[in-house]
Amino acid sequence: MKTCSLNDFMAEINPWLDKDYIKEAHLNDKGHFILQFRDGMKNVYYIDDCNEAQIKKVLKDLKSKGIPVTE
């Protein structure tokens, strides 16, 4: 698991913001942001400088880009 700020998280995932790379995105029961990639890899993030509403906005933005989001 990687701990980061929301800005660092967005900068890190920016190159992957495509449904061809990201298979699915969701929050787990601990509030960690999970990205499942099409190649079988999974990244877990704890974003430590924002609230749940901000995280849900990120999920909504991913969904609008065609990335499957489980809520």
Domain boundaries, the chain: 2-70
Higher pLDDT, 44 or 18: 44
Beta bridge partners of 2: 45
Cβ–Cβ < 8 Å for 35, 42:
yes
What is the CATH code of the structural domain delimited by 2-70?
Answer: 3.30.720.210
Confidence of residue 43 (pLDDT cuts 50, 70, 90): very high
What is d(CA 15, CA 12) in angstroms, rounded to the nearest whole number?
7
> pTM score, two decimals?
0.86
Q: CB 14: neighbour CB atoms within 10 A?
A: 8
Digit-coded pLDDT (tens) for 2-23:
999 999 999 999 988 877 899 9
What is d(CA 1, CA 65) in angstroms, rounded to the nearest whole number?
24
